[in-house]
Structure 1
Amino acid sequence: MFLFNSVRINTSTESRIERQVAARLQDPNYLAAQKAFKDGLLLSKLNSTSQREAIKRYETALQLWQKVGDKASQSYAAIRLGQTYSNLGEKQKATQYYNEALKLKRAVGDKNGQVIVLGHIALLERSQGNLDKSYKSIQYAIKLIEDLRRTYTNTDDQSAYFASVQNYYKFNIDLLMELHKKNPTRGYDALALYTSERSQARGLVELLKQAKADICKGIDPSLIEAEERLVSKRDDAETLLSQYLNQPQQPLELIAATQKEITNIIKEQEEVNAKIRAQNPDREKVLKPKLGRDILQLPQIQKLLDKDTVLLEYSLGEERSYLWAVTQNSLSSYVLPGRQQIETAASKFRSGVLIPDSIPPEVIQASNEFSKIILAPVADKLPGKRLVIVGDGALQDVPFAALPDPNQIRNYQPLMLNHEIINLPSASTLAIQRQKLATRPLAPKALAIFADPVYSPTDERVTGKPDNNQLGPELVLQNSDLEKSTKSLKRSGFDRLQGTFTEAQGILNLIPASSRMQAMGFDANYTWATSSEVNQFRIIHFATHGFVNYENPELSGIVLSLVDKKGESIPGYLRLGYLFNLDYPAELIVLSACETGLGKDVSGEGLVGLTRGLMYAGGKRLVVSLWNVNDQGTSVLMQEFYKEMLQQNKTPANALRAAQKKLWENPEWRSPYYWAGFTVQGEWQ
């Protein structure tokens, strides 16, 4: 069921409406209109007879608001009349009132309101079989959404707004797939895939702002100040224009002057943006991904793929979900069950693979059921292919490596036995990354490793006594953030990961001393991790605790040594915001830690977490975890991974697969719990 009545209103718009209401509270007609409208709302929730009565109330409210010249309120009455007539099956009258509401919303410059009305029109047209008209309406609504999204300067409001409009994207995808069913050769399935990319390719932008990341490297601070000032100035002018347009006697001279002011502000913004682009060309691609350039259409996605790769992109909807399988020269699409069924099956599967013991029959059954839902439809496209997964919702934290291969249904065979598996936030993300890193030279040295940090003054490695444990302001802030994060995760501290020392030693033995840097114990600290020396290494490996704060992604981080040799507290929390400011021109970053691949699932943004921060820092590809991995098992897995990569010259994705196969073949480590938690994200070539 698609609902188009819950769009979040911009704070400035909300305040304007409140001011207008307050100014008219003394008008008897206005008060009578308000009462009639509220009565209509109550009646419309009841039976069809009551809905007829509701129509009378809405019509009364509409007429009274016409008397006082309140076009904004008239539009709300018209919307309700359209909804009520639509519920009663009187489609022609519903269309009439929706069109009237759209006209009123345009008259007062209410773009949010236009989006809502266009959604209703699209739904109404679709219910009558007018799919082309429905498509035009929803396309225009999405265009307005894209425009509105850029007007939010507050990160929380921006993310909340985009979450509130996800139904429009999902409706558009569903409509396009219905058009594809009726006209399979018209390319509607490719347009649906493009819409999916449009709705998913933005998480990095909000995360950058939420983490207070410095994405202004190399830019004159005065230009950033000018940019912020002009955004605020334009918002004020557009709010004022909307107020003028909603007055009974419109002040034409003031309207013209305000429109001219907005035009001049836009011109100034363009001039400032041009100067900023000249100083940092990459910034705009991150903050304002361009449709058709930074967000890819089918031919561009296909160019990313080689003959041995198939891209599987998912979109979860309330009633139906979709899967697109893309190769170099083909596109196939599939209808899957609704979100709830997929999420329930995903939860059962994930719970099963977290069992450390041998795989019980009930877990195998749950795994097979889940594989039938999300992989069996595309089974014929998989043999011999590398699988690149763009998940949605619950599918973003599913260990695909442990899913039963749909082509090997007699016995449980994990997907990784026959397939190399890569995860991506979106196909568009990879394209931007490839373009950005195409000419980057390789770092001169092989490996920097951070392992076995010291988290507590009670650690046996602490030999001295603190002289003065008075914390400086920066340390107080970091420890405060760390405390807030750990409290939200119900953790009281961090245990030593002794297996990481063995893990690090095994990896270091594979690298010549002249081409490696090791930061172990006390040296695995914030100072070393943020040192410019780290950008000399092609591989950066963190064998330590890391975690994601689901409610406040900006508090996510990597935990390094928290005390020095005397037991005194030191900065040791490598926060998400800091990651964005680091220069890690690495071919591979490994987070051999807990749940580093996860993040907060903001509707329309995808999972946002540490992985995206490290990608922005320069990581070409990442190896991250999906759950609290076992210390000893991870040590074995990582040593095998590096042997395959460095001694057998395999790509990271292929090396991880080979290491996982070795653990699978060993009875001691056979359970997916020990090996399936790690996944490769980013470039596979």
Structure 2
Amino acid sequence: MLQSRNSGYRRVSASLYDHLIRPVAQDIEALNPQQLAIIATGSLRQFPFETLRDSQTDRFLLQQYPIHYLTRLSSRSLLANPSPSRFLTFPLWTIPLLLGVLGIGATVKHHWKLGGTLLTVALVTATLSPRFSGDYRVLGFANPQPLDPFNLPGTEAEVDALLRLAPESEIYRHQQATLEVFKRQSPRHRYLHLATHGCFQQLGCCLGETCADDEQREIHMNPNTLLFADGEYPLADAALLGLQDTQLVALTACQTALQTNIDGDAIMGMAYIWERAGARALMATLWNVDDQATEAVTTEFYRLVMQEGLTKVEALRQAKLSQSHRHPFFWSPLVLIGDPR
């Protein structure tokens, strides 16, 4: 319903709020958490919890808390200290709980069974450390094949904005946005921004008018791949990149956070693989995104991180709130998975 921009989402999101959040809303408020971490399985992995709406106050959950998501590998990043006094500090008493709830400082954990899916909400009570001036150079790739049906002209505005915020960034577009450059340069940067197509459907993906006929459709991309100027990159290979110093991989391709298998593992798509590669967090999309809306959210996100010193989760929250006057279709598909710091 969010993807179709239907106004009926308000009723559905309110109903889901009543089932998932209202039973524990008072417990959450009593703990005054800094943010919510969502661990979900099944179909709930493809739903942005930011859009849950309290019908009594007519407020989205995003307006109450910063929200991010966890995979079963997120504990590795959350237990690691990026560097002294840079991001979040966790009290010593949270360490056992970090291990107990997939690596997040929490005082309570709630489970619900909902149609064969599992939802866990971890309430983070960590505190912010002082702001710092970090290394914000970005390795960016945009519009690697600028001809239809692959053309993504809006993504070039994304990387142009990045260059204004971080002039020392390395940006590659069109024929320069090659797979060879990506594999060579990615371990050297703390921030990776991939504004390209991704295909995560089991039978592959098609683009353009040929998609109208499911039986006769022409396959343009292989499943579980990202598009570069010189070909497609198999997602499984990302686990071997060696991204131990990478704070964030941002994928503004279509549907990049959708699950890449159907074996029931509690992961959210490719986030698990990027975490295996060493990346602390992934920012990805849950469905086909609007170019202009994505540019607005991502540009504000990077500005808040690079110039205001906000954590990733708070920066994404505020960037989304700046667009919240629009239908959630435009601002809710971008989600943060992994370390929120």
Using the size of structure 1 for normalisation, the TM-score is: 0.38
Letter in 2 for 1:588: L
Counterpart residue number, 1:512:
167
Superposed CA offset, 1:255-296 (max 9, x none):
xxxxxxxxxxxxxxxxxxxxxxxxxxxxxxxxxxxxxxxxxx
The reply on whether 1:574 has 2:233 as its aligned counterpart is yes
Letter in 1 for 2:157: T
Secondary structure at 2:323 match in 1: helix
TM-superposed CA distance for 1:607, in Å, is 4.0
Counterpart residue number, 1:425:
71
Counterpart residue number, 2:145:
454
Counterpart residue number, 1:605:
265
Distance 2:249 2:9 in 1: 32
Counterpart residue number, 2:303:
643
Q: Which of 169, 189, 192 is equivalent to 1:537?
A: 189
Letter in 2 for 1:364: R
Counterpart residue number, 1:62:
none
Higher CA-based Rg = 1
Q: Which of 337, 355, 364 is equivalent to 2:4?
A: 355
Superposed CA offset, 1:222-266 (max 9, x none):
xxxxxxxxxxxxxxxxxxxxxxxxxxxxxxxxxxxxxxxxxxxxx
Question: Structure 1 494/529 Cα, relative in aligned 2: closer, same or farther at 3 Å?
Answer: farther
Distance 1:603 1:579 in 2: 20
Distance 1:637 1:684 in 2: 17
Question: Structure 1 445/511 Cα, relative in aligned 2: closer, same or farther at 3 Å?
Answer: closer
Question: Structure 1 423/438 Cα, relative in aligned 2: closer, same or farther at 3 Å?
Answer: same
- 2:142–2:156 CA contact under 8 A, matched in 1: yes
Distance 1:606 1:431 in 2: 13
Secondary structure at 2:279 match in 1: coil
Superposed CA offset, 1:459-479 (max 9, x none):
3xxxxxxxxxxxxxxxxxxxx
Using the size of structure 2 for normalisation, the TM-score is: 0.73
Distance 1:439 1:664 in 2: 31
Distance 1:519 1:600 in 2: 27
Counterpart residue number, 1:616:
276
Counterpart residue number, 2:24:
378
Distance 1:607 1:682 in 2: 11
The reply on whether 1:367 has 2:20 as its aligned counterpart is no
Alignment RMSD (CA, Å): 2.4
Counterpart residue number, 1:399:
48
TM-superposed CA distance for 1:447, in Å, is 1.0
The reply on whether 1:626 has 2:286 as its aligned counterpart is yes
Alignment size in residue pairs = 272
Secondary structure at 2:165 match in 1: coil
Which runs of structure 2 are paired with 1:118-517 in the superposition (5 Å)? Answer: 351=1, 353-356=2-5, 360=7, 362-383=8-29, 384-385=32-33, 386-405=35-54, 409-426=55-72, 429-435=73-79, 437-438=80-81, 446-454=137-145, 459=147, 494-513=149-168, 516-517=169-170
Distance 1:495 1:421 in 2: 32
Counterpart residue number, 2:174:
521
Letter in 2 for 1:575: P
The reply on whether 1:682 has 2:333 as its aligned counterpart is no
Q: Which of 320, 327, 330 is equivalent to 1:671?
A: 327
TM-superposed CA distance for 1:684, in Å, is 1.7
Return 5+ residue gaps in structure 1 as ranges: 1-350, 460-492, 562-569
Distance 1:445 1:373 in 2: 40
Question: Structure 1 374/420 Cα, relative in aligned 2: closer, same or farther at 3 Å?
Answer: same
Question: Structure 1 525/604 Cα, relative in aligned 2: closer, same or farther at 3 Å?
Answer: same
TM-superposed CA distance for 1:555, in Å, is 3.5
Distance 1:649 1:444 in 2: 12
TM-superposed CA distance for 1:627, in Å, is 0.6
Distance 2:151 2:203 in 1: 26
Distance 2:136 2:49 in 1: 33
Distance 1:656 1:444 in 2: 19
TM-superposed CA distance for 1:521, in Å, is 1.6
TM-superposed CA distance for 1:414, in Å, is 1.4
| Higher percent of residues as strand | 2
Return 5+ residue gaps in structure 2 as ranges: 87-133, 205-221
Secondary structure at 1:541 match in 2: strand
TM-superposed CA distance for 1:549, in Å, is 2.6
Distance 2:237 2:149 in 1: 21
Distance 1:643 1:594 in 2: 23
Distance 2:300 2:83 in 1: 29
Which runs of structure 1 show a deviation greater than 3 angstroms over 4 or more consecutive aligned residues?
437-445, 600-604
Letter in 2 for 1:574: Y
